Structure 1
Amino acid sequence: MTPATPAPSPNLALNQLVDERRARGESLVHLAFGEARLPLLPQLGERLAAGAAHTAYGPVAGGPAVREAVAGYFTRRRLPTTADRVVVAPGSKPLLMALQLAVPGDVVLPSPAWNTYAPQARYAGKRVIGVPVPAECGGVPDPAALRTALRTARAAGADPRLLVLTLPDNPTGTLAPPALVRELAALAREEDLLIVADEIYRDIVHDPDRTPFLSPAEAAPERTVVTSGLSKTLGLGGWRIGVARFPEGDTGDRLRDGVLAAASELWSTLAGPMQHVAAYAYAEPPEVTARIRAAARLHGAVARSVHRIAVDAGATCRPPTAGFYVYPDFEPLRARLAARGITGSASLAAALLDDSGLVVLAGHLLGDDPHALRFKAATSLLYGDQEQQAAALAADDPTRLPHLAGQLDRIAAAFARLAA
């Protein structure tokens, strides 16, 4: 039998679809792509220009300056780090793929989860073991369900070795509390699982004073790799800057060396000009930290507004506390929606697009139950062009700006049609 042709990443495919349809003059509200739409911080552009002369390959792991800066970033977050524990790459996605190649065995994922984890595992020849998330948050599997899933998977011949945790979470916009992270870290030790902590949204906690962050690398330092990057905090997705922190000891050495071996064949090194940008950004000068704080306030304000709209329309939805996503569940409207032929996430997303021009990422594309009435909405796509983005960053209440308020009104009308 000829194997099925792999499909493109659904969020990237939807983003391209939106661009094409907008080019034809269609008016769409795009909520299907997790890009931080922020104006470029001028100092970043200056560092990029200053680094343009760095045209040599350099070390696979990255040069000393950028690795020292990244080590300092992690150290300031209660994760003491030396430069030899750091690898930089063209985005965190290649690092996550390299980890899949470097770690034997199968992969445990929360369900739902970011839509790239499972395809990467399958490209690496691994089985994917999906485990439902707890009621209070996403990004991590429910501990009791995880124990059961591990037993069932091993009885069926699987070999779970790698546990992926996303803190804060894409797609739910929530953060697992410290007690839950500690419980999962203890379970990982008990079951001899390595942990990948995807912390690319770590600096986008909306209210850090009320939402404490505990990294799995604090709770299980000997078995946790942390990945991150600059695409979400500083809106540099297209510049492709990712980082990984490896644990001390033999396990960390083995994982780092495996990733570097893969990197040497896949991407060689992070481009020199981008290393120049990353060294500056990860040193966290005042203008960078001020931009990140302003962006977190903006993301929080708009995500909370979309959350209120969803709840007012009759959905249930975890309150967003980080990142720029909401993940509403329209199960309370199932009978009403079924009468219109809407019986799962695919038909729900199609109805929103066809009836209201609203583009969302259906839950089944994130490993969720296809029959569930859930989808991801990426609220960071509502900020407008660069001039409008700058105004939103500076506003006391960005949701009152005309361009943003108009988008929110369209979302409210679309959700209201579902409830009608």
Structure 2
Amino acid sequence: MRRTDPEGHGPVRYGPPLPDDGLPVLPELAAVLAAAAGRSESEAVGGGAALLEAACGYWGRRGLPAEPDRAVAAPGAPALLLALTFALGGDVLVPRPCAAWWAPYARLLGRPVFHVPTPAECGGVPDPYALLETVRRVRAEGGEPRLLVLSVADDPTATVAPPEVLHETVEAATGEGLHLVSDETWRDTVHAPHDTVLLSPAEMLPEQVTVVTDLAGAHLPAGWPAAVARFPAGEAGDSLHARVLDVLTALGSRVAGPVALAAGYALTEPEPVTARVATAVRLHARVAAAAHAAVVGAGALARPPQAGRHLYVDLGPLRAGLSAQGVGDAQDLEDFLAARLGMPAPGGHRFGDDLGALRVRLSTGPLLGGGDEERVELIASPTPLELPHVHRSLIHLKSVFDDLRDDAQRWEPPR
């Protein structure tokens, strides 16, 4: 019998974190945090005035005007999604695959989660026709679908949803009365921003979309948890905002005072922050492109990465060789590749994909090296892929996948 919850590999405690940027903390950010270390007062639940003003300025520069009374801050996007899921009620729909942290919070509340296939062009958003069919089926079975979570710049697939695809999905979802939560954690990590059109669902239907952004995506280290949410205007948005604040208050979910000051500084986007974000995006885009070339060259399948610090790889074409190594499902593949690569390789089942599908998310951060000196060197180098530690990592990645290709060819049945 195929495993659904392998012992020692539970879907929540062993779920993968957001991909780290693998770089030193920006000195200016560290200075803001250090200066606030003596701050004893607590940040208000939902965020203080300065942090919310900074968040509204951030959204305004992206064509999403907002007021502080339409915004909320929390210690990480998971707390916001938990509060939103509780406040909205009903069943939850998500794309397949989706970010690993989306579904556990709904299940924690006892809410059914339904995965909807994505279109061929991208991940992050459900196929509109599959979405309509899923909603119809859930209602026919007595369910009450109310919430759709999606992401235009996606974890895990590293794709950006084309505006025309997004428009069809948003139209289908709102036609069925669903509220949309747009996870825009990775919107500022698009690899080719001048060639890629990224449109937020909130620009299309501002009264039916809540935007959530975890600042670990581009602006803060993952160990400084902070996230912000922008609520729609109107009476329904007011009610949802109030209910989310109630949940965050009940949980005591506050952004730590020093982290709140650092988050506010980052969201105002001074030159040191924008320069570091741009540097990190260029670096990870180059590494992701090299990793993509390595895995595709070995016969695996992967969409070209367009955003984030990761790529999503389907090793189905190499199944024959992997089967000979005892790899039969995504959990086996996760264990096998983690040992071979010397870095985490979470299987697709972590992201709602089928356990039997041989898919993994590979992050680019571990390919950058782990020492402080190596990380500083990355920031200043005009040719980071030629640095010895990065070059070795990419050669090792290519070697592992080339071996898998050779194994697959060896075990393929004769034609």
Q: Percent identity?
A: 43
Verify the 8 A CA contact 2:181 2:212 in the aligned structure 1. Answer: yes
Structure 1 11/408 Cα, relative in aligned 2: closer, same or farther at 3 Å?
A: farther
Report the more deviating stretch, 293-302 or 176-185. 176-185
State which of 177, 186, 201 in structure 2 corresponds to 1:201. 186
Report the more deviating stretch, 296-305 or 332-341. 332-341
Equivalences for 1:3-152 in 2 at 5 Å?
A: 13=14, 34-152=19-137
Residue 263 of structure 1: how far off its partner (Å) = 0.7
3-state SS in 1 of match to 2:121: coil
| C-alpha separation in 1, matches of 2:18 and 2:95 | 20
State which of 407, 412, 417 in structure 1 corresponds to 2:393. 407
**2:395 paired with 1:394:** no
| C-alpha separation in 2, matches of 1:90 and 1:111 | 26
Structure 1 portions without partners, runs of 5+: 16-31
| C-alpha separation in 2, matches of 1:292 and 1:359 | 24
Q: Which one scores higher on RCO, CA 8 angstroms, separation ≥ 6?
A: 1
State which of 205, 209, 221 in structure 2 corresponds to 1:220. 205
For residues 307-326 of structure 1, give each alpha carbon's deviation from its aligned partner in whole angstroms, at most 9, with x where no partner exists.
Answer: 11110110111000100111
Structure 1 358/414 Cα, relative in aligned 2: closer, same or farther at 3 Å?
A: farther
**1:254 maps to what in 2?**
239
Verify the 8 A CA contact 1:307 1:320 in the aligned structure 2. Answer: yes
| C-alpha separation in 1, matches of 2:401 and 2:220 | 28
**2:413 maps to what in 1?**
none
Verify the 8 A CA contact 1:314 1:332 in the aligned structure 2. Answer: yes
**2:410 maps to what in 1?**
none
Residue 279 of structure 1: how far off its partner (Å) = 1.5
Verify the 8 A CA contact 2:343 2:366 in the aligned structure 1. Answer: no
For residues 347-404 of structure 1, give each alpha carbon's deviation from its aligned partner in whole angstroms, at most 9, with x where no partner exists.
Answer: 2223324455453001112110111111110112222223222222222232211101
Structure 1 367/414 Cα, relative in aligned 2: closer, same or farther at 3 Å?
A: same
Residue 333 of structure 1: how far off its partner (Å) = 2.1
Equivalences for 1:303-318 in 2 at 5 Å?
A: 303-318=288-303
| C-alpha separation in 1, matches of 2:18 and 2:59 | 28
**2:168 paired with 1:183:** yes
Verify the 8 A CA contact 2:47 2:254 in the aligned structure 1. Answer: yes
Residue 134 of structure 1: how far off its partner (Å) = 1.4
For residues 264-285 of structure 1, give each alpha carbon's deviation from its aligned partner in whole angstroms, at most 9, with x where no partner exists.
Answer: 1113421221121112111111
**2:411 maps to what in 1?**
none
**2:234 paired with 1:233:** no
Verify the 8 A CA contact 1:110 1:165 in the aligned structure 2. Answer: yes
Give 4+ residue runs of structure 1 displaced > 6 Å after superposition.
4-9
Equivalences for 1:331-346 in 2 at 5 Å?
A: 331-346=316-331
For residues 4-61 of structure 1, give each alpha carbon's deviation from its aligned partner in whole angstroms, at most 9, with x where no partner exists.
Answer: 999887586377xxxxxxxxxxxxxxxx862222211111111112223432224312
Verify the 8 A CA contact 1:38 1:235 in the aligned structure 2. Answer: no
**1:351 maps to what in 2?**
336
Aligned-pair RMSD on alpha carbons? 2.1
| C-alpha separation in 1, matches of 2:41 and 2:338 | 46
One-letter code aligned to 1:135: A
For residues 86-134 of structure 1, give each alpha carbon's deviation from its aligned partner in whole angstroms, at most 9, with x where no partner exists.
Answer: 1111111211111111111011011111111111110111101101111
Verify the 8 A CA contact 2:314 2:360 in the aligned structure 1. Answer: yes
